[in-house]
Amino acid sequence: MTGNKTITIAVLLVTLSSCISRLEQHALYGTVVNMQKHPIANCTIGETTTDSSGYFYLPEKRYNQFLLSELFIMEAPPIAYNIPVKKEGYKTTYISFINPRGGGTKKGASRNLDTIYLKKKINYRTNE
């Protein structure tokens, strides 16, 4: 009987601790402005848009990995993202980040991007 309890407890422990949460993208927030430091509303950043004051917030993204596969690797996975910041009439810029072992960061990871500047596109006209 004690052997069955031990096996049951071991199976429960392995099942409950079999997934490890890994970071895919920090929670990102900041403000988008033009070169004159005026906020840019409705600017697309990943899956969100800026509000009337140019502020945006992208929630943290995570994924789960099985404990056994993580034990063989023995280090946190890399994290890398390249998120476009777009607005009609402006040059697209990117929020880029790379860390070779950043995927092991705890829940609640965030980055304050402060101010992102967008330049207006210049349209050159040819006289033909």
Walking along the chain (128 residues) 10 residues at a time, the average pLDDT comes out as: 74 65 91 97 96 97 73 75 96 94 85 96 70
16 occurs within a structural domain: no
- What was the pLDDT predicted at 68? 59
- What was the pLDDT predicted at 18? 62
**Looking at the 3D structure of the chain, how many domains does it have?**
1
- The answer to whether residues 60 and 23 touch, using CB atoms and an 8 Å cutoff, is yes
91 occurs within a structural domain: yes
56 occurs within a structural domain: yes
70 occurs within a structural domain: no
Q: What is the CATH number of the domain that holds 42?
A: 2.60.40.1120
pTM over 0.85: no
- What was the pLDDT predicted at 126? 60
Distance CA 89, CA 17 (A): 50
**What residues make up the domain containing 40?**
22-62+75-118
